[in-house]
Amino acid sequence: MLWVSAGRGPATRGRAQAADLTDAGSLSALVAGSDVVLSVCPPHAAPQVAHAVAATGFTGLYVDANAVAPSTARAIGAAAGEVAALFAATDLEAVNLGEDVTAASALKMCYAAWTKGTSALLLAIRAAAVVYGVDEALLGEWERTQPGLAARSRTAAGTARKGRGGSRVRWTRSRWPSPRPACPMASPAPPPSCTAGLLPPRS
């Protein structure tokens, strides 16, 4: 399997070496030696990568495997049947949703709306409960009437922290009734009268 090292950092080079990938040196060289190009990159870069490959005159199968919006998927295009067949003999399950090139992206978007949306809602509810001093009571009520929900809220918090790659917690001052309750779990302790949100580290 080929990859392009141009413009990539040491960490990416290390991962490519660990995966035993062969460095083609340049995109044009990679395309010239490939029947299939697999694009896996940050979503915002997907159109740029697709355009760069198209500019080389590549006529093989281009697989955009990125978490892009339906509109981006439509702009890039793909042959779902060919892609599914490509992975048929592998451990990867590729599901063909038909000829609409936006279907897979739309399905992922709707699925994530539930999984990520409900996690965000749970985190917001827990934060509010802590601020009002009823977090333990809420967890107890969930355990009694909504089995598994308390555990899911803890999992959501852990996933959010890991996904941020060492997030910091930013405390934002807000108006709350006196006496001011302690804010959500953090170290060092936040100031009184605040709400919390996980934010990416400052650049």
Does the bond joining 188 to the residue before it have cis omega, within 30 degrees of 0? yes
pLDDT at 6: 83
Model confidence pLDDT, tens digit, residues 144-182: 999 999 999 988 887 776 655 544 444 444 444 444 444
| Number of other residues whose CB lies within 10 A of the CB of residue 60 | 11
pLDDT at 168: 44
Per-domain residue ranges of the chain = 2-102, 107-199
Residue with tokens 């006496």: 179
Contact between 196 and 186 under an 8 Å Cβ cutoff? The reply is yes
Per DSSP bridges, beta strands 168-173 and 194-199 are antiparallel
pLDDT at 128: 93
Residue with tokens 């892009």: 68
- Residue 56 has which token pair? 């080389």
Q: 0.85 exceeded by the pTM?
A: no
pLDDT at 135: 92
Contact between 200 and 163 under an 8 Å Cβ cutoff? The reply is no
Q: The dihedral of CA 30, 31, 36, 39: what is its sign?
A: positive
DSSP states of the chain as a string?
-EE--TT--HHHHHHHHHTTPEE-SSHHHHHHT-SEEEE-S-GGGHHHHHHHHHHTT--SEEEE-S---HHHHHHH---HHHHHHHTTTSSS------S-TTHHHHHHHHHHHHHHHHHHHHHHHHHHHHHTT-HHHHHHHHHHHSTTHHHHHHHHHHHHHHHTTS-EEEEEE---PSSPPP-SS-SSPPPSSEEEEEEPPP-
Question: CA nearest 70: which of 38, 113, 31, 35?
Answer: 113
Instruction: Identify the segments of the chain with pLDDT beneath 70.
Output: 77-81, 161-203
